[in-house]
């Protein structure tokens, strides 16, 4: 695209945003900054869940549409463990492990035999998502399950300048999201396994040719990706509560995050999650009936100009 057009489009994007920024702060600064915080913390949750999705997709070209069900599964398991033991950390761990285990099972028992058949794998995940969601509904029922925040994080943070009070738990989501992002990055870029995964994303055949047990790498990746969904589920169980239907919502969010941010890129997931979280929250705050239109417009714009996502790699 020529430089003039590029400049035009960037201006067309930045100008209305800046106008909105100035107007928002002038109109109701408290609302504006609370919304910003809300958006960033929601983005944290979306990032945690979507990073697992993009990891699986990036390495194994498997669009795991059962990702939402894994979120739900992790959330429920975390809820019951948390309710029984009273320890939030245990709940987090339980949610992660349960989802990772089911993910591992799915990879080893089913997807391993369908290597290369992307479409078929995706359809299997669709079937699995329906089955898992209904099994959970059967076992646990349709009632609302709300996990309580750990005692240290319950209730509001008071005496913050301008916005007065903010939920402690939500505020904690920001550093947690960043921490998980950093950990993931370190894992992918500073460990041997991470190096294998990145190599596999670039060229699966070569990875196998160097003698590495590709199946093991795949299984590990799927387990981690699923575990991240489960972890997100436990976190969401506190903030958004667990109810059948959450799986579809979080799956959708993951899809949009990955499409916008770039398929197969963890940094892209962070970028996409931020954009989606902030856009959704501002839309809800300032124009509730059209918030989905904003999301959709963003999606269309990204697909129109960068079909692979903002940070997506051309495969």
Nearer to other proteins, 61 or 204 (CB): 61
Three-state DSSP class for 132? helix
Rounded CA separation 27/273 (Å): 27
Residues 160-179 interacting with other proteins (rule: CB under 8 A): 164-170
The answer to the question of residue 86 lying near other proteins (CB under 8 A) is no
Q: Looking at 90, 101, 115, 146, which residue binds other proteins (CB under 8 A)? A: 146
The answer to the question of residue 124 lying near other proteins (CB under 8 A) is yes
The answer to the question of residue 142 lying near other proteins (CB under 8 A) is yes
# of chain residues touching other proteins (CB under 8 A): 83
Pattern of binders to other proteins over 231-250, x per CB under 8 A? --------xxx-xxxx-xx-
Nearer to other proteins, 130 or 209 (CB): 130
Rounded CA separation 203/113 (Å): 19
Q: Looking at 4, 144, 162, 205, which residue binds other proteins (CB under 8 A)? A: 144
The answer to the question of residue 126 lying near other proteins (CB under 8 A) is yes
For 290, list phi and psi in degrees, rounded to 5. -115, 10
The answer to the question of residue 203 lying near other proteins (CB under 8 A) is no
Binding range to other proteins, per CB under 8 A, among 18-26, 194-202, 220-228, 284-292 = 284-292
Q: Are 152 and 164 in contact (CB under 8 A)?
A: no
**Residue 105 CA: distances (Å) to CA of 44, 81, 125, 128, 307:** 27, 21, 13, 12, 33
The answer to the question of residue 202 lying near other proteins (CB under 8 A) is no
Least distance (Å) between residue 293 CB and other proteins: 6
| H helix or E strand, kind and range, residue 167 | strand 164-167
Query: Comparing C-alpha atoms, which of 280, 214, 224, 179 is closest to residue 52?
Result: 224
Nearer to other proteins, 226 or 263 (CB): 263
């Amino acid at each position: 695209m020529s430089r003039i057009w590029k400049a035009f489009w960037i201006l067309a994007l930045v100008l209305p945003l800046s106008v909105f920024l100035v107007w928002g702060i002038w109109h109701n600064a408290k609302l504006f900054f609370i919304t910003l915080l809300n958006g960033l913390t929601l983005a944290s949750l979306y990032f945690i869940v979507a990073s697992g999705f993009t990891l699986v997709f990036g390495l194994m070209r498997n669009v795991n549409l059962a990702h939402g069900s894994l979120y739900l599964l992790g959330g429920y398991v975390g809820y019951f463990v948390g309710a029984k033991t009273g320890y939030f950390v245990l709940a987090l761990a339980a949610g992660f492990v349960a989802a990772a285990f089911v993910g591992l099972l799915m990879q080893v028992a089913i997807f391993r035999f369908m290597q290369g058949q992307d479409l078929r794998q995706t359809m299997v995940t669709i079937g699995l998502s329906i089955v898992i969601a209904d099994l959970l509904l059967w076992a646990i029922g349709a009632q609302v399950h709300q996990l309580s925040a750990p005692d240290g994080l319950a209730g509001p943070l008071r005496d913050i300048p301008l916005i007065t009070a903010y939920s402690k738990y939500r505020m904690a989501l920001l550093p947690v999201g960043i921490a998980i992002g950093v950990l993931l990055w370190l894992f992918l870029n500073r460990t041997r396994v991470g190096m294998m995964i990145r190599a596999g994303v670039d060229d699966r055949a070569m990875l196998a040719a160097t003698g590495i047990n590709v199946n093991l790498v795949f299984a590990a990746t799927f387990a981690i990706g699923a575990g991240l969904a489960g972890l997100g589920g436990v976190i969401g169980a506190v903030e958004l509560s667990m109810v059948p239907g959450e799986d579809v919502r979080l799956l959708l969010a993951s899809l949009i995050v990955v499409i916008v941010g770039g398929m197969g890129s963890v940094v892209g997931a962070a970028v996409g999650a931020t954009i989606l979280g902030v856009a959704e929250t501002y839309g809800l705050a300032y124009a509730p009936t059209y918030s989905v239109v904003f999301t959709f417009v963003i999606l269309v714009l990204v697909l129109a100009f960068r079909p692979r996502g903002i940070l997506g790699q051309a495969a």
